[in-house]
Amino acid sequence: MIYAQIKNNMVQNTIVLEDLNLESLFAKGFDSLVRVDNLTPQPGIGWGYNGTSFTAPAVSTPSPQQLAEQQIINDINFGQNLITQFAAANAVAGISQSTGSTLAVLSYTANLSQCLYTGSLLAALTMMTEMLADNSAAKTACAPYITNAVIISYMNQIQTYMGLPLTS
């Protein structure tokens, strides 16, 4: 049997109790102990109790500010994961053995990294589009760590995350 431990008109905990002789032990420190496995819906932690009936907690709807903050947190986490993925792929490819390549890649991607780090994914896509068209010596110095194929693969990850059409 499942019981709700009630304190201050609120379900604080639920327990499975098979030995009814232990009811008084599990009621200590609570205002009441109420069997709930026979109720539909079954009350849980956070439900209100007025002595005779249970009420579900109010469902809170996040504010536009809270939704925006959560989206930004998600975007930042996504961007930082891309940075980690890029760094790990380059480490596996041997970038750490080439100081010149490391510095070239860091310099070439500084603004892009800042966009990804802050979750500015549309700005990152704009920069990557410009990088695709770039034929400068600065980009060439970053090969094989930064190539159009590498750029497109990261653009596609961002576009998939954002629900945008993929770059081919």
> Which of these, 75, 78, 82, lies nearest to 154 by C-alpha position?
82
Summarize pLDDT for 54-108 with one digit per residue, the tens. 999 998 899 999 999 999 999 999 999 999 999 999 999 999 887 788 999 999 9
- Per-residue model confidence (pLDDT) at position 20: 85
Q: How many residues does the chain have?
A: 168
Name, in order, each residue with C-beta under 8 angstroms of 127's C-beta and a sequence gap of 6 or more. 111, 112, 115
Summarize pLDDT for 42-55 with one digit per residue, the tens. 999 999 999 999 99
- Per-residue model confidence (pLDDT) at position 99: 75
